[in-house]
Amino acid sequence: MFRDSVIEDYSDKHEIVALCDSNPHRLSEAAQAASIPGTNGVATYLAEDFDRLIAEQRPDTVVVATPDFLHSDYIVRAFEAGCDVICEKPLTIDLSRLKMIIDAQKRTGRQVKVTFNYRYSPARTQIRELIASGAIGTVTAVDFRWHLDRVHGADYFRRWHRQKENSGGLLVHKSTHHFDLLNWWLGTVPTQVFASGKRVFYRPETAIEFGLENRGRRCADCPVAHKCDFELNMAEDAALKSLYLDAEAADGYYRDLCVFDKEIGIEDTMQAHIRYASGVTANYTLTAYSPWEGLEIKFQGTKGDITHRHVEVHGVFGGERAHADEDAITTELHLAGEQPRMLEVPKAKGHHGGADPVMLGYIFDPEGMEPDRFNRASDHVAGAWSILTGIAANASIETGSVVDIQAMLRARGIQLER
C-alpha cells in the first residue's frame, strides 16, 4: 500500500530510496514493482543490512511493515539514525518493547505515525462528530462487537500471528484498531480492564468434527485438503504464489499452516470489560469464526443512543464470501422521547470503507489536504494507548484479575506524554 501510493500518487513529492526485507525473493519482487522505467531501479538491502541502508541512503522517513514483534527494533534504530517513522499497527506488542520506543522518542525527538486507517473512514468519522457534538449527551456506556469471518479470521491462525510472541494475540494485533477507535471516539483513555479469552474453534477437535482426520501440517501437503473449507491453495493465486510459495526456499516460512494445529497459541474468542478515565465503561467482544464479517456498536448516552452497524461480508459458505453491498453501513440515532432516525452515512471509494486514500493523503501530502478538524493522525502516545487495552486484557486473561493500566505502566517506568 505505501509503496504503490508513493510511486503512483505522490511521486512528485516523495521517492522510495531503498527497500529492505528478510527474504531475498520478496525483496526482488518488491524492487521490481517499485522501479520506475528508465531508471536504475531501487536500492535493496537484506534485513541484516538495515543500518547500512540508513547510512548509505539517508532516508527522511522509514516505513515499518514487519511482523509486529519487530516493530520496536526498527523504530528505535530509525529514531537513533535521525529518521522519522511510519508504522503499521500495532505500535508494538508488549510493555518492554513499548518502553524502548517511548524512551527512544524522548531521547531523539523523532516522530512516529501509526497508521490507524479506520479513523479516516467517513462512517467512523461521522460517529466521532456525533459524539463530540453532544448528540446523545454524555456517553455513559458502549457495547462493541467485532466479527471476523471464517476466511479473514482463519488467516490469523495459519500465519506468524498464531503465536503471541509474534503478534500479542488478536487482542493486540487486531483489536488495536478497535481500542484506538474507542479512545478516539470517546476522547479518553482506558484505566482498568477485566477480560476472558479462549480458543474454542481453531483447534484439533474442530477438525475431527469436520471429518479432517490425518491432517497435514500445511495445506500444500495435506491429504485431506481437498475436503477442507479452510484450504489455502497458494499455487492457484498468482499473488500468494509469488510472495510466499516461490519464496519459501529462502527462509522456510510457510504461509499455509493448518488452522487447527494444536500448537496455536492465540485465542479465537475474547471479551473485555473496559473502564475509562472519563467514567465511560465498554464491553468488547471479538470472535474469529463468525458466519459474517463486520462490526456492531451501541453508544448509550444521557439523551439517547447511537447504533452503528457495518456488514463487510455477508457470509462464508464452503470457503466462498458474499461481499456486502453499498447499503451495508447503517447509523441509527434514537433520542429519548423520539422515534429512531436512520442517518445518511457518508461514503467514499477505496479500501477500509474509503479510509485508505484519505489517510495516505494526510501522510504523504498534508499541505494538499484540508485541515484535519478530527485530529485523526496518531503518534507514539496514541499508538501506546491503543495497545495498552489489549496488553492489559492479555494480562487479565492470564491472571483472572482486573488489571489497572496506570499501575502496570508505573511498574515498568513508562510515562506517556507528548
DSSP of 316-364: EETTEEEE--TT-EEEEEEETTS--EEEPPP--SSHHHHHHHHHHHHHH
pLDDT at 409 over 90: yes
Q: What is the pLDDT of residues 282-313, one digit of tens each?
A: 999 999 999 999 999 999 999 999 999 999 99
pLDDT value for 300: 98
Q: Is the pLDDT of residue 350 over 80?
A: yes
Q: In the block, which residue shows the cell 503512483?
A: 8
Q: What is the pLDDT of residues 119-135, one digit of tens each?
A: 999 999 999 999 999 99
Q: Which among 176, 177, 147 is positioned nearest to 311, based on CA atoms?
A: 147
pLDDT over threshold 90, residue 208: yes
Rounded CA gap, 246 and 248, in Å? 6
- Whether the per-residue pLDDT at 39 is higher than 80: the answer is no
- 219, 225 Cβ separation under 8 angstroms: yes
Q: What is the pLDDT of residue 366?
A: 94
What are 72-84's pLDDT values in tens digits? 999 999 999 999 9
- pLDDT over 80 (residue 402): yes
Average of per-residue pLDDT across 59-76: 98
Rounded Cα gap, residues 24 and 8, in angstroms: 24
Residue 387 contacts residue 95 (beta carbons within 8 Å): no
Q: What is the DSSP string of 125-146?
A: HHHHHHHHTTTTSSEEEEEEEE
- Quick one: 96 exposed, middle or buried, by C-beta within 10 A (0-12, 13-18, 19+)? exposed
Closest CA to 123 of 361, 369, 308: 308
Residue 327 has pLDDT above 80, yes or no: no
The confidence score (pLDDT) of residue 319 equals 67
Tens digit of pLDDT for each residue in 277-287? 999 999 999 99
Query: What mean pLDDT is reported for the chain?
Result: 95
Angle between helices 71-80 and 50-57 (to 10 degrees): 30
Confidence grade of residue 70 (pLDDT, cut at 50, 70, 90): very high
* DSSP H or E segment with residue 184: helix 175-186
Mean pLDDT of 2-15: 94
In the 3-class helix/strand/coil scheme, how is 58-96 assigned residue by residue?
CCCEEEECCCHHHHHHHHHHHHHCCCEEEECCCCCCCHH
Residue type at 318 in one-letter notation: G
pLDDT band at residue 34 using 50, 70 and 90 as cut-offs? very high
When pLDDT is averaged across residues 389-413 and rounded to a whole number, the result is: 98
The pLDDT assigned to 351 comes to 81
- How sure is the predictor about 170, in pLDDT bands with cuts at 50, 70 and 90? very high
**Is 172's pLDDT higher than 90?**
yes
pLDDT-derived band at 322, boundaries 50, 70, 90: confident
The yes-or-no verdict on residue 40 having pLDDT over 80 is: no
CA distances from 400 to 123, 195, 196, 217, 407 (A): 36, 8, 8, 33, 17
pLDDT confidence tier of residue 100, bands split at 50, 70 and 90: very high
Residue 318 has pLDDT above 80, yes or no: no
Is the pTM higher than 0.85? The answer reads yes
Question: Among residues of the chain, what percentage have pLDDT more than 90?
Answer: 92
Indicate the helix (H) or strand (E) that contains 315: strand 304-317
pLDDT at 112: 98
